[in-house]
Amino acid sequence: MDSSTNTKEESTLAQLLTTIGLPQWHDLILDWTGRFDGWRACYEASPTMQPDFTPLSMAIAALLEMAGATYTSDVALAEVLANLDFTYWRACRADNPREIWYPLQETFREFATRGPVSVWADTETAIPPGVIKYWLLGRQAFKDWRSEGTPQPATGSPPTIQ
């Protein structure tokens, strides 16, 4: 896919999130799905597939289904994102199978820059959807908190303890 496809998908994502009343999730969804970029190309062993935006396409398809819902929430969106097929994508070091890629900590591309990798899709060893859901909710809550402004230190003298 070329960058114009990515821009089109990002625009579609923004429109869908506005439709369901959750536009504040835009950057987090791009970050979450972007953590898997390059995995499919590695799996297919085709460098011409990069960049690979399949996770973003999956998220958009799920949002299209949510757009018809009568009620949406941060929790519902996080749950949907935590259960998408790409969350089963796994990787490890080709020379050290115990060194496993953990998408909650780094992107696949970051992991893959440190040496050859083995990739597979597996529901048995995947990160549990509940963990992903609460990770996403935590990141969104922190982002919301930061956008409201960082608390400023109190002015004046500290309280006296007697």
Distance CA 81, CA 135 (A): 11
What pLDDT, on the 0 to 100 scale, is given for residue 48? 60
Distance between CA atoms of 138 and 56, rounded to whole angstroms?
20
pLDDT tens digits for 46-94? 656 555 558 999 999 999 998 888 788 999 999 999 999 999 999 999 9
Alpha carbons within 13 angstroms on the beta-carbon side of residue 30 total 14
> What is the rounded CA–CA span in Å between residue 21 and residue 67?
9
Is 108 within 8 Å of 86 (Cβ atoms)? no
* Rounded (10°) angle between helices 26-34 and 54-66: 140
Q: What is the pTM of this model?
A: 0.81
Show contacts of 79-82: CB within 8 Å, 24+ apart. 79/129, 79/133, 81/29, 81/32, 81/132, 81/133, 81/136, 82/129, 82/130, 82/132, 82/133, 82/136
pLDDT (average), residues 17-27: 94
- Among 71-80, 121-130, 148-157, which stretch is predicted with the lowest mean pLDDT? 148-157
Parse the chain into domains and list their residue ranges.
3-147
Q: Kindly report which listed range (59-63, 105-109, 114-118, 138-142) carries the lowest average pLDDT score.
A: 138-142
- State residue 106's pLDDT score: 96
| E strand or H helix at 96 | strand 96-100
Q: What span, in angstroms and rounded, lies between the C-alpha atoms of 35 and 30? A: 9
Mean pLDDT calculated for residue range 3-7: 61
The mean predicted confidence, pLDDT, of the chain is: 85
